[in-house]
Amino acid sequence: MIYTLCFVLFLVGLYGVTCKKNIVKIILGFLIMEHSINLFLILLGWRKNGIAPVLEKGMSADILVKSAVDPLPQAMVIISIVTGLAILVMMVAIAIRLYQKYGTFDITEMNKLKH
């Protein structure tokens, strides 16, 4: 159920990217898509009443495996957030430069390449 909600969030982002004409809205659409996938990855490793995946003194490995959350998706999400930030900065930089050149954020008016 909750995975389906993540997928719906992904589709909302996809709608923003494909159907909106404003560059800022397109960038927001990409952000929504990225965070829906991050959320999905986190939820994959989540478990109710889970504990941190650290083996403390006096704890057997069995209990850890049974009750700890999966740490790997969390590591993946951190890396994914960092790459997402790099791309966001790139997108915003290009958007600002485009606004300086064309005086608008509307992508339908940026058609110099075709002429």
Q: Which is nearer to another protein, 49 or 108 (CB)?
A: 108
- Which two three-digit tokens encode residue 37? 């996938």
Is position 97 an interface residue for another protein (rule: CB under 8 A)? yes
DSSP for 4-56 reads HHHHHHHHHHHHHHHH--BHHHHHHHHHHHHHHHHHHHHHHH--TT-B-S---
Q: What residues numbered 20-59 form the site for another protein, per CB under 8 A?
A: 23, 26, 30, 33-34, 37, 40-41, 44
Closest distance of CB 58 from another protein, Å? 25
- Residue numbers of the site for another protein (CB under 8 A)? 10, 13-14, 17-18, 23, 26, 30, 33-34, 37, 40-41, 44, 72-73, 76, 79-80, 83, 86-87, 90-91, 94-95, 97-98, 101-102, 107, 110-113
